[in-house]
Amino acid sequence: MSGSYRVAILGATGAVGEELLTLLASRNFPMSELKLLASPRSAGTKLKFKGSELTVEAVTPESFQGIDIVLASAGGSISKEYAPHAVAAGAVVIDNSSAFRMLPEVPLVVPEVNPEAAAQHQGIIANPNCTTILMAVAVYPLHQIRPIQRIIAATYQSASGAGARAMQEVLTQTQDILDGKAPKPEIFPYPLAFNLFPHNTPINAAGYCEEEMKMVNETRKILGVPGLRVSATCVRVPVLRAHSEAINLEFTEPFPVAEARDILATAPGVKLVEDWEANYFPMPIDASGQDPVLVGRIRTDLSHANGLELWLCGDQIRKGAALNAVQIAELLVAKNWLKPGSK
């Protein structure tokens, strides 16, 4: 990776924004300039980067002049407002919100799965939903060997998916309950400490919530299989950081467990975690702060000869958001795909 690029982080003071700072530093992304942008209320905040302090600026339409890459993680409405200004200024926007994911002209990219899609961007590349990213990294290596016919997913999603304030809310609620006080939900609609509930995004007429439909539609787009049968049940659980998922895969023929285990043991972005004697498999506490998606408990579905079960955990803030975005930026630089329609 050569050259030096001018980078802006939109949403720099959020949980993902802070993780982006950490990753740009630890991965030595080639930069000549780093601009931190956020809402006016966060302007003036000081954030550390490689031993220096950078000042957060209030985002304006003019903020993107001279910028090559924008890493956006400020929410869909902010992305819709400012991404066009960034593209008009000549930057490529790697957007972590759901604002552009399902637009046909916007690539939806997981670098371990469909890196070539990034070359077709018209100025915006979408980062998939966190649960979709984690699942895609784990199932794609198997899909390459025997095409998947159906996916049934159940997710166990940590507070980190709703940001830093949601994580703090769980800590506060936990202490309140231990002190004999009633927990007060503010970020979430219900108490999450010592509790769980189905994901609280809006529910459609079929009974699926928005988070579940993201997994359905985004997985189809990333894998390039528009008719793939996918169903998901998404649940918020009282874990601070890192999501977990129980995945059931159906193939057209049996997929030997030993073969699946060998494939996943060497798959990019995956770490196999299995100790059957100790009943030790991926856990959020182990996945937190880690780059790979931890995969284990791989077994044949007793109810279906062509079925395979697996369990995974991945850091939602890292691979589920910030790391995937930085990897896309690294891909653009390595392949010289910063210009629209590069391929």
Phi, psi (rounded to 5 degrees) for 296:
-170, -170
**Mind listing the pLDDT tens digit for each residue in 109-125?**
999 999 999 999 999 99
Contacts of 256 (CB under 8 A, 6+ apart): none
Percent of the chain with pLDDT over 90: 95
**Mind listing the pLDDT tens digit for each residue in 123-161?**
999 999 999 999 999 999 999 999 999 999 999 999 998
**pLDDT confidence bin for 189, thresholds 50/70/90:** very high
- Contacts from 44-51 at CB under 8 Å and sequence distance 24+? 45/13, 47/12, 47/13, 47/18, 47/21, 48/21, 49/21, 49/24, 49/25, 50/25
**Mind listing the pLDDT tens digit for each residue in 258-296?**
999 999 999 999 999 999 999 999 999 999 999 999 999
- 85: annotated active-site residue: no
The mean per-residue pLDDT over the stretch 65-81 comes to 96
CATH topology of domain 132-316: Dihydrodipicolinate Reductase; domain 2 (3.30.360)
* CATH class for the region spanning 5-128+321-335: alpha beta
Chain CA centroid to CA 339, Å = 24
Q: Which member of 85, 143, 199, 243 is catalytic?
A: 243
Domain ranges of the chain: 5-128+321-335, 132-316
**pLDDT confidence bin for 163, thresholds 50/70/90:** confident
Facing residues of 251 across strands? 148
Give the number of other Cβ atoms within 10 Å of residue 148's Cβ: 22
Q: Which member of 85, 121, 130, 313 is catalytic?
A: 130
- 143: annotated active-site residue: no
